[in-house]
Copies of this chain bind each other. A is one copy, B any other.
């Protein structure tokens, strides 16, 4: 077990930014569901606004798969900050996201939000997202 003195926290931070960008790009393209799912841990918990918690890879596969790649749905996100724990075994990221989906009248709508993800370093798989939660930005003024 390494102590914090031997851990390159800046390299971990850059790695999580890189993984997160790759994840966001893959998700926004809407083509490779299994690749998108691979960024979550097997026991990850996803907390969508206005919906029950989605716990574990199988439930996340069903949740994401229901809209993934459909022309009326899209997701995009951008991480602005990554904080790594002093020992380098946990990290969290904050950023913004945007979903587009069909509105009540069938016309496309967009939801913009704030997002927090928590990452752990799996000894075999590397960094994976274990917690994923977001909520809406303020409603645009009329």
Which A positions have Cβ atoms within 8 angstroms of B?
Answer: 1-5, 45, 47-53, 83, 85-87, 89-90, 92, 94, 114, 116, 118, 120, 130-131, 133-139
By a CB distance below 8 angstroms, the chain B residues around A136 are: 49-50, 135
By a CB distance below 8 angstroms, the chain B residues around A83 are: 130
Is A116 a contact of B116 with CB atoms below 8 Å? yes
Residue of B nearest to A55 (CB): B94
Instruction: Give the oligomeric copy count.
Output: 2
Is A114 a contact of B47 with CB atoms below 8 Å? yes
Contacts known (A1-B5, A47-B114, A120-B85); A135 close to B134, Cβ less than 8 A: yes
Is A116 a contact of B89 with CB atoms below 8 Å? no
Contacts known (A3-B3, A87-B85, A133-B133); A118 close to B139, Cβ less than 8 A: no
Question: Mind listing 14 A-B residue pairs with CB under 8 Å?
Answer: A1-B5, A2-B3, A3-B3, A49-B135, A49-B136, A50-B136, A50-B137, A53-B114, A86-B87, A92-B118, A92-B131, A116-B131, A135-B135, A135-B136
CB of A45, distance to nearest CB on chain B (Å):
7
By a CB distance below 8 angstroms, the chain B residues around A138 are: 50-52
Is B131 a contact of A94 with CB atoms below 8 Å? yes
- 8 Å CB contact of A85 from B52, B90, B134, B137: B90
A68 to B45, CA, bound (A): 31
